[in-house]
Chain A
Amino acid sequence: MAGAAQAEISNDMVKIGYLADMSGTYRDLAGPNGLIALEMAVADFGGQVNGKNIEIVSADDRNSPDVASSTARRWVENDNVDMIAGLVASSVSIAVSDILEESGKLGIVSGSAASSITNEHCTPNHIHYVYDTYPLANGTASAIVKEGGKTWFILTADYAFGHALEADVTRVVEANGGEVIGTIRHPFPTPDFSSFILQAQGSGADVVALANAGADTTNAITTAGEFGLTQSGQTLAALLLFLTDVHALGAEAAQGIQLTTGWYWDMNADARAWSDRFMEETGVRPTMVHAGIYSSTIQYLNAVKATGSDEAQAVRKQMIATPINDMFATNGRIREDGRMVHDMYLAQVKTPAESTNEWDLYNIVRTIPAEEAFRPLSESQCPLVTSK
């Protein structure tokens, strides 16, 4: 039973802290169901790795970097937490990654969007797993420009995430020969989009793009429908849309919208099988974030098992060395900057006639190969890459 490697698991247990928005705007895309995904991964490992118990603690970060920082600090300094999972709001992930770097622990970011997390904010102590703003812009915007949507009008949530997405979209649109003819930076959150939709209509742009998230996006889509935006010949592009958002809108309101996603529950047999299990536990279909939390936890525990250690750098090195092909990712691998690159998907929301049940919502239109989807290392500002 005893072995040299097992001695390296600190405190005789592997402790995972799940930190996410459990009650606010981002609750449904990760939240309590993300904790269930994490628990499923630990249960599938038999609750133990190399004979040591796996423990889980969890907390609500309330989308506040301050709350998240103090929780993370308590976990890593006093409570022997080895790895922090979840991590949704980009501002939270950036704040927590600093603490992880100071304390030498590991974090796996599954919910955040900002591509800066593995670019200017990269650390040797975190991994960004599911998606980021780079492929969101790359997938959706380039597809629409190629279909003939040359002039763009962007509605941007006026904070870090929206600005990052707006910049990424503008780059992609211009690179493909299109032009951004107007942007509006709207306050976060904005309950009523009628004024902005009217201005977008008045602009005469081919494409009205939404660089926002959650309720802002669903509100904007509902209002665009009400004001007949698409009937007047404009294309509506939602750049970040989770399955839970589309489900809330329904196929009737969301039909035809193109979006980029890292995963879809019905995209292959493995994904379906896992999402059936998830649905038995939660009553809903998983988002890409839920699936990413499960997959990344399995990858993490595999790395702990292989190295016999829960020391962050040993585990991270092992994770980087291991290709990822599972229910979540195809052609997945973790780069030295911490970015997990994998195939992404351009999806289109089904029409009510095509949709056979309330969660049957996407047609996968195109697979975006891993190497094409994410920011190439040659463009990276991450010191872990550029110092080489």
Chain B
Amino acid sequence: MSMILGVPVAVLFGQLLLGLINGAFYALLSLGLAVIFGLLKIINFAHGALYMLGAMATVILFDTLGISYWAALFVAPILVGCVGVAIEYFLLRKIAGQDHIYSLLLTFGVALIIQGVLTNMYGVSGLRYSMPDVFKGGMNLGFMFLPYYRAWVIVIALLVCFGTWFMIEKTKLGAYLRAGTEDSQLMQGFGINVPLLVSLTYGFGVMLAAFAGALAAPIYSVTPVMGSHILIVVFAVVVIGGMGSIAGAIITGVLMGVVEGLTKTFYPPASSAVIFLVMVVVLFVRPSGLFGKEA
């Protein structure tokens, strides 16, 4: 078997593919953050907690109401999106126009409260959620066994990412959004309800996080603390991509998944640090991020 740096090529292919799949998760999450920061200039530290809420909602909806995985993929993001709209309407709106640090602290506090309440209710060991029957098993790709579910994750996550990018950058609704945040007074004058637009944008970013959570429910341990670990990584991804760059967040998300996957193959102990290392290097070379506009 041919080898690269002591690792069989077949193994390397497998790791690359897994990296892409994890990258799809990062892309979904960092996209939500980038939408919220790019359009609203809010540093959303509640993003991890809202991702967790999406996963918890998927499990709880099934346990209590028997709502299936497929339905939960829609219902969980909508429910959590409503929570997001409420956070924006009742809290974030009060500090609009203040320094970024206020939104950061506020959303961080909200995250701690959500996490603490759910920990008291459900503990931290994790909730049980079975893989939907249709995804049980997998296919042998020759170089690895690929569970069907992982294949589904990468397809649906990238579709949602592309759809979001398209909506914001290429449609009239997206143009309103971008214009509304650029010059809200002018847009108000044109008869556009800007505060509503802001609430919906925040809600949409939150829905993306909750959707990632629902996707994660069958394969990761669903616990009230699952979001706190991933949040910092996703922030690093957004910084590398360029704060607020929609396409940058998606591409960097996938890319960092691959970088992390390769690190897990060649030097596992560094795999949780490698993304931050990349961040440091990028900030030195291009302070506005790979895809950010130069200030």
Residues of A participating in the B interface, judged by any CB pair closer than 8 Å: 23-25, 27-29, 158, 184-187, 189-192, 194-196, 198-199, 201-202, 214-215, 218-219, 222-223, 226-228, 232, 244-245, 247-250, 252-253
13 A-B residue pairings within 8 Å (CB atoms):
A158-B268, A158-B269, A187-B271, A189-B229, A192-B220, A195-B19, A199-B265, A215-B225, A219-B220, A244-B125, A248-B221, A250-B128, A253-B128
Taking a contact as CB atoms under 8 Å apart, the answer to whether B230 and A191 are in contact is yes
Taking a contact as CB atoms under 8 Å apart, the answer to whether A198 and B14 are in contact is yes
CB-nearest residue of chain B relative to A195?
B264
Picked from B11, B131, B137, B149, the residue with its CB within 8 Å of the CB of A202 is: B11
Question: Cβ of A189: which chain B residues have Cβ within 8 Å of it?
Answer: 229
Question: Cβ of A198: which chain B residues have Cβ within 8 Å of it?
Answer: 11, 14-15, 18, 144
Compute how far the CA of A189 lies from the CA of B226 in the bound complex, rounded to whole angstroms: 10
CB-nearest residue of chain B relative to A246?
B125
Residues of B participating in the A interface, judged by any CB pair closer than 8 Å: 8, 11, 14-15, 18-19, 21-22, 116, 119, 123-128, 130-131, 137-138, 144-145, 147, 149-150, 219-221, 223, 225-226, 229-230, 261, 264-265, 268-269, 271-273
Question: Cβ of A218: which chain B residues have Cβ within 8 Å of it?
Answer: 125-126, 221
Taking a contact as CB atoms under 8 Å apart, the answer to whether A190 and B131 are in contact is no
Compute how far the CA of A227 lies from the CA of B116 in the bound complex, rounded to whole angstroms: 33
Asked whether A185 and B269 contact (CB < 8 A) given A194-B150, A223-B219, the answer is: yes
Asked whether A186 and B229 contact (CB < 8 A) given A227-B145, A248-B125, the answer is: no
Taking a contact as CB atoms under 8 Å apart, the answer to whether A249 and B128 are in contact is yes
Taking a contact as CB atoms under 8 Å apart, the answer to whether B225 and A24 are in contact is yes
Taking a contact as CB atoms under 8 Å apart, the answer to whether A195 and B221 are in contact is no
Compute how far the CA of A244 lies from the CA of B229 in the bound complex, rounded to whole angstroms: 21
CB-nearest residue of chain B relative to A27?
B124
Compute how far the CA of A252 lies from the CA of B21 in the bound complex, rounded to whole angstroms: 26
Compute how far the CA of A201 lies from the CA of B140 in the bound complex, rounded to whole angstroms: 13
Question: Cβ of A228: which chain B residues have Cβ within 8 Å of it?
Answer: 137-138, 145, 147
Taking a contact as CB atoms under 8 Å apart, the answer to whether B220 and A222 are in contact is yes
Picked from B15, B124, B144, the residue with its CB within 8 Å of the CB of A28 is: B124
Picked from B21, B221, B223, the residue with its CB within 8 Å of the CB of A222 is: B221
Asked whether A196 and B268 contact (CB < 8 A) given A218-B126, A249-B128, the answer is: yes
Asked whether A191 and B268 contact (CB < 8 A) given A25-B124, A248-B221, A252-B130, the answer is: no
Task: Beyond A23-B116, A199-B265, A232-B145, list 8 extra A-B contacts (CB 8 Å).
Answer: A195-B261, A202-B11, A222-B220, A227-B145, A245-B125, A250-B128, A252-B130, A253-B128
Compute how far the CA of A270 lies from the CA of B18 in the bound complex, rounded to whole angstroms: 49
Q: Which 8 A-B pairs have the closest CB atoms?
A: A187-B272, A195-B264, A248-B125, A248-B126, A244-B125, A28-B125, A28-B123, A250-B128
Question: Cβ of B261: which chain A residues have Cβ within 8 Å of it?
Answer: 195
CB-nearest residue of chain A relative to B257?
A192
Taking a contact as CB atoms under 8 Å apart, the answer to whether A195 and B265 are in contact is yes
Taking a contact as CB atoms under 8 Å apart, the answer to whether A215 and B265 are in contact is no
Taking a contact as CB atoms under 8 Å apart, the answer to whether B229 and A191 are in contact is yes
